[in-house]
Chain A
C-alpha cells in the first residue's frame, strides 16, 4: 500500500523481508527519497546490500525472496519488469560492452530514434564527462576513471528516475575515487535523481545524511 509520502518521494522502498535460502537478510526497512537525494547502505559482506539494490531493480536471483514494494514517483514499479522501472544501475565493474566503442555504448542507452537527436544527446553526454575525444575508442583502452565516467554517462542517458550504485568507486584509487564520487553525486543532484549507494567506504557517506547500516544475518 503506498503511503502518503509517495506523492513527494522520487523513490520509496518498503522492505517487509528479504530472504536468502539460509537466512533473513533484511526485515522492516523503509527508505523514502525525494528527488536528488542520496541514501547510503553499509554493512558487512553477505548482509544483503547488493540484494537490496537487485530487489529495487528487479534483478534478484530466484533463490532470494523479496517481500515489499518499490514506488517511483508514486507509481508502484516492483510489479514491472526491470526495463520498465526507469531505475538505472552502476556496478563497481563498469560493464562497458567490449565489442562497442564508447559512443556505441552510450547510444545503447538512448531511444533508437530520432537518430539526429540521439547522436546529439550522446555527444553532449560525452562532453559532460570529458570523454568527447574518446567517442570511437575501444573501452578497454580507457583508464579506470574514464571507464567509470563512461558508465555513468550511459546510465544517465537512459533518463532514470532513480539510480542504484553498487560499490561504484571500489576499484578506483583514493584520489580518483574522490573526484568520480563528486562527479556522480553532482550529476544525481543536478538531475533530481534519487540514488541509493551501497558502499564499504566511510568516505562515501561523508556528505550523505541518510545512511542505513545492515547487520550480518
Chain B
C-alpha cells in the first residue's frame, strides 16, 4: 500500500529547497502519478466485491474514515445551506441590487484546490493569521517568551476533526448554492411572482425577512434539490481538498479509497472500489433520508415553525421575528468576499515570498523565482489552457444542441438528469471516465483527456444556461417564423445575441470547472499529463511554499481572466439617444 505523504511542515519552515522537503515532495509526486497504470485492471480484480467489502469492513481505518467523511460532508452541506439561506433572506437576487450578485462569478472562479491551499497558508500553525496573532501579542513577548519562539503546537489544518476541511467546503459551496438559487430567482416569471407575493406579505404586516422565510424559501428549497445533492455528493467524496487540508490519520474515506485504488495489490484495489461504492451508497441513503424527512413535512423542519407564527404587533407596529437571519446574511455577504480576497492575497504574496522565518509577519525578501519556474513550465500551462478551452467549447456546443433539439417540455427532465454526474462520488466518476476512455482506446491520450473534461464540464455549462433559457419568451421564435425568418436566422440574430451574457458566463464556468479537474485528469491521463491543478496538488505535499502558491494563483487567475472576459462580452449594448424628441404630433401618436 502506498503510504500517504502529507506534511503540515510546509509553512513551518521558512524557506524552500532543503533536501528533506524535496525528498518528501518527490515521494508525494510519485504517489500521485507513478502507479496509475494499475487502474486499468481495477474492475477485473480476482478479488470479488463481496470479499473486498468484507475486507473493507474489517479494516481498522474504515469506520473512523467513514465517520469523518459523513461528518465533514453533512456539516459542510448543512452549514453551506444555512448560510446560503441567510444570505438569500436579505433579499439577494430578488429585492436587493444586483451588484452584490456580480461578486459570485469571482468567487466561483477560485478553484477548491487553490482556496484550500490559500487556507493552509493562512491557518496553518505557522500561517499568516497565526503570525498576525503573534505580532499582536508582541508587546507582551517578554512576559511569555516560551509562547512566541515557535509555531503553536495545535493542528489548525489537517486537524483530526476535519474542521479545516469543513471550513473550506462551506466557503466554497456557499457561492455554488447561491448560484443555483439565483438561477431560479432571476427567471423573470419566477422573480415577478415572488416579488408580488413578498409585497402581499408586506401588506399583511410581515417584515421582509419573515416574509422571505414564509413565502420564498418554501418555494425555493425544492428547486434547489439538484444543487444540494451535488454539494452533498461532492463534500462526501472530495479527494483533492481533503488531501490538502483534511485529516491525515485516519483520512476521510475518499482519500483512503484513492490510496487503496493506487495500490499494486489487486485485493487492496478491490477494497478501494468497495470503499467508493460505500461512498455512493452513503450519498444515496442520506439523500433519500433527506427527501423522506422533507416529504414528511416534520414540524421542526417547516420554515413556518422557525419563523414563529403570525406577525406580532407591538405598539401598533409589526415586530420582526427573523431579523437575525437577515443580519447573519448581511454579515456573510461582507465576510465571504473578504475571506476570498484574503485567501487570494495570501496566495499572491506567498508566491513572491523569499525567506520567511516564523514569526515574521512579512517575508524577509521577495523573489519571482517561483513565477519564473511556473512560466518555465509552459507545457503545463498549455495543457491546462487547451484542455479548458477545447472541452468547454465542446460542452457548450453539446449543451446548446441539447437545448435546441430537445423539446422545451423535456428541459426540466434534462436539467434534472444533468445533476446525476454531479451526484456521483468523484472517484466513481473518474473511474467511469477512465473505463470509457479505455473502451474507446483513448486512455492516457489527449483525446481521452478532452473527452473526460468535456463530460465533466457539460453539466455545469448546461445548468448555467438553465435560468436564461427558461426566461426566453417562446413567442419570440413564433414571431420570427411569422416574419418569414428561418429557425437558424432566429437563433443567430436574436436568441444567441440575447443570451450573449449567459453564454459567455457559461463558458467561463465551464473553463473554471475544467481547470479545477483533478481526478479525471489523473485517471484518464494516466499521470502523463500535468495541469496547474495536478501540479498544485502534487506540490501541496512538499515544502516549496512559493511555487505551490504560484500554481494556486495561476489556477485561480486563468478562470478569473475568462470570467472578466465574460463580463466584458456580456455587457449590455449601449444604444444611441434618439435624434429627435418624441413628438406630440398633430396626429397625436405618442
Kindly state whether residue A98 has any CB partner on chain B within 8 Å.
yes
Which of B409, B479, B484 is A95 in contact with, Cβ under 8 Å?
A: B479
Within the complex, which residue of A108, A143, A145, A155 is in contact with B493, where a contact is CB–CB below 8 Å?
A108
Q: Which of B409, B478, B483 has the most CB of A within 10 A?
A: B483
Residues on the B chain within 8 Å of A130, using CB: 583, 585, 587, 589
Can you pick out 5 interface pairs between chain A and chain B where the beta carbons lie within 8 Å of each other?
A: A85-B482, A93-B473, A109-B483, A138-B573, A138-B575
Q: Contact check, A137 vs B479: say whether CB atoms are below 8 A apart.
A: no
Residues of B within 8 A of A175 (CB): 588
For A, the interface residue count at a CB cutoff of 8 angstroms equals 48
For A166, give the chain B residue with the smallest CB separation: B475
> Quick one: which of A98-123 are within 8 Å of B by CB?
98-101, 108-109
Query: Which of B475, B478, B484, B582 has the largest number of chain A CB atoms within 10 A?
Result: B484
Query: Known contacts being A108-B493, A133-B580, is A143 close to B478, with CB within 8 Å?
Result: no
Q: Mark A144-161, 1 if CB is under 8 A from B, else 0.
A: 011001000011011010
| B481 proximal to A (CB < 8 A) | yes
**Residue ID in chain A nearest B478 by CB atoms:** A59
Tell me whether B497 and A83 are in contact (CB under 8 A): no
| Residue among A62, A83, A89 making CB contact with B485, cutoff 8 Å | A83
Chain B 562-578 interface 0/1 with A at a Cβ cutoff of 8 Å (1 = within): 00000000000101111
Q: Nearest residue in B to A172 (C-beta to C-beta)?
A: B590
Distance in angstroms between the alpha carbons of A154 and B484 in the assembled complex? 12
- Hey, which chain B residues are within 8 Å of A129, CB to CB? 589
Interface residues of B (CB under 8 A from A): 407, 409, 473, 475-476, 478-486, 493-494, 497-498, 500, 573, 575-580, 582-583, 585, 587-590
Q: Is the CB of A145 within 8 A of B590?
A: yes
Are B573 and A109 in touch, CB under 8 angstroms?
Answer: no
Selected from B473, B573, B577, B578, the residue in CB contact (under 8 A) with A99 is B573
A-B pair count, CB < 8 Å, reads 108
> Known contacts A59-B475, A136-B579, A155-B482; can you find 15 more A-B pairs with CB under 8 A?
A57-B482, A59-B482, A83-B485, A84-B484, A89-B478, A89-B482, A95-B475, A100-B494, A100-B497, A108-B494, A130-B583, A137-B578, A146-B589, A154-B483, A155-B483
Q: Does A183 contact B (CB under 8 A)?
A: yes
Q: Are the C-beta atoms of B484 and A83 separated by less than 8 Å?
A: yes
6 A-B pairs closest in CB distance: A133-B580, A138-B575, A82-B481, A59-B478, A89-B482, A136-B576
Chain A residue nearest to B495 in the complex (CB): A97
Contact B481 A98 (CB under 8 A): no
CA distance in complex: A95, B485 (Å): 15
Q: Do residues A108 and B473 form an inter-chain contact, with CB atoms below 8 A?
A: no
| Cβ-defined contact, A108 with B589, below 8 A | no
Q: Considering the chains assembled together, what is the distance between the CA atoms of A84 and B407 in angstroms?
A: 22
Q: Contact check, A86 vs B587: say whether CB atoms are below 8 A apart.
A: no
- Residues on A with beta carbons closer than 8 Å to the beta carbon of B407: 62
| CB proximity to B under 8 Å, residues A67-82 | 81-82
Contacts A83-B486, A143-B582 known; A97 to B576 CB distance under 8 Å? no
Chain A residues near B473 (CB-CB < 8 A): 93, 95
Taking a contact as CB atoms closer than 8 A, the residue among B482, B583, B587 that contacts A87 in the complex is: B482
How far, in Å, is A165 (CB) from chain B's closest CB? 12
Contact at B479–A134, with CB atoms within 8 Å? no
Given contacts A83-B486, A137-B575, A97 and B476 within 8 Å (CB-CB) = yes
Asked if residues B494 and A97 are in contact (CB atoms below 8 Å), the reply is yes
Given A130-B587, A145-B590, A179-B589, check contact A98 B498 (CB 8 Å): yes
Contact A179:B479 (CB < 8 A) given known A130-B583, A133-B579, A136-B576: no
Whether A133 lies near B479 (C-beta < 8 A) is no
A191 CA / B582 CA spacing, docked (Å) = 27
Q: Evaluate whether A133 and B475 lie within 8 angstroms (CB atoms) in the complex, with A97-B494, A97-B498, A149-B589 already known.
A: no
- Residues on the A chain within 8 Å of B582, using CB: 143, 146
Residue A91 CB within 8 A of the other chain: yes
The answer to whether A4 has its CB under 8 Å from any CB of chain B is no
Cβ of A38 within 8 Å of any chain B Cβ, yes or no, is no
Q: Give B485's nearest chain A residue, CB to CB.
A: A83
Residue A26, interface by CB 8 Å: no
Docked-complex contact B589 and A145, CB < 8 angstroms: yes
CA separation between A10 and B554, bound complex, in Å? 67
Q: Which of B475, B484, B576, B589 contacts A158 (CB 8 A)?
A: B484
CB atoms of A134 and B585 under 8 A apart: no
CB pair A143–B590 under 8 Å, yes or no, is: yes
Decide if B575 touches A82 in the complex (CB within 8 Å): no
Closest to A135 in B: B579
Contact: B475 with A91, CB < 8 Å?
Answer: yes
Complex Cα–Cα for A179 and B409 (A)? 40
> How far is it, in angstroms, between the C-alpha of A164 and the C-alpha of B483 when the chains are bound?
12
Q: Which residues of A contact B494 (CB under 8 A)?
A: 97, 99-100, 108
> Which chain B residues lie closer than 8 Å to A133 at the CB level?
578-580
Are A134 and B573 in touch, CB under 8 angstroms? no
- Contact residue among A108, A109, A141, A179 (Cβ-Cβ distance under 8 Å from B588): A179
Q: Check if A88 is an interface residue, CB within 8 A of chain B.
A: yes
CA distance A87 to B407 in the complex (A): 24
Contact A108 B480 (CB under 8 A): yes
The residues of B that contact A134 with a CB separation of less than 8 Å are: 578-580
- In the complex, what distance in Å separates the CA atom of A95 from the CA atom of B483? 13
| Residues of chain B lying within 8 A (CB to CB) of residue A137 | 575-578
**Interface assignment of A23: CB less than 8 Å from any CB of chain B:** no
With both chains docked as a complex, state the minimum distance between the C-beta of A156 and any C-beta of chain B, in angstroms.
10
The answer to whether A99 and B476 have CB atoms under 8 Å apart is no
Say yes or no: A91-B590 contact (C-beta < 8 A), given A108-B494, A109-B484.
no
Q: How far is the CB of A97 from chain B (nearest CB, A)?
A: 5
Bound: A160/B481 CA distance, A: 12
Minimum CB–CB distance for B498 against chain A, Å: 5
A154 to B485 CA separation, bound complex (whole angstroms): 12
- Name the A residues within 8 Å of B482 (CB-CB): 57, 59, 82-83, 85, 87-89, 155, 158, 160, 164
Residues of A contacting B578 with CB < 8 Å? Answer: 133-134, 136-137, 141
B151 CB to nearest chain A CB (Å):
57
Select which of B475, B478, B481, B575 is within 8 A of A141 by beta carbon: B575
Cα A180 to Cα B478 with chains together (Å): 23
Across the interface, name the chain A residue whose C-beta is closest to B481. Answer: A82
A133-B578, A136-B575, A176-B590 known; A86 vs B479 contact (CB < 8 Å): no
B contact residues around A58 at 8 Å (CB): 481
Q: Are B478 and A108 in contact (CB under 8 A)?
A: no
What residues of A have a CB within 8 angstroms of the CB of B479 in the complex?
89, 91, 95
Distance of B293 from chain A, by nearest CB (Å): 35
- In the complex, which residues of chain A have a beta carbon less than 8 angstroms from the beta carbon of B478? 54, 57, 59, 82, 89
Which residue of the partner chain A has the closest CB to B588? A179
Cα–Cα, bound, A58→B480 (Å):
12
A155 → chain B, closest Cβ, in Å? Answer: 7
Report A-chain residues with C-beta under 8 Å of the C-beta of B573. 99, 138
Q: Give CA–CA (A155, B479) in the complex, Å.
A: 9
* Beta-carbon contact of A99 and B483 below 8 Å: no
Q: Are A108 and B483 in contact (CB under 8 A)?
A: yes
Determine if A88 and B483 form an interchain contact, defined as CB atoms under 8 angstroms apart. yes
> In the complex, are the beta carbons of B493 and A83 less than 8 A apart?
no
Given the complex, which residues of A lie within 8 Å of B483, measured CB to CB? 83, 88, 108-109, 154-155, 157-158
Residue of B nearest to A180 (CB): B589
Chain B nearest Cβ from A96, distance in angstroms:
10
Q: How far is the CA of A30 from the CA of B481 in the complex (A)?
A: 25
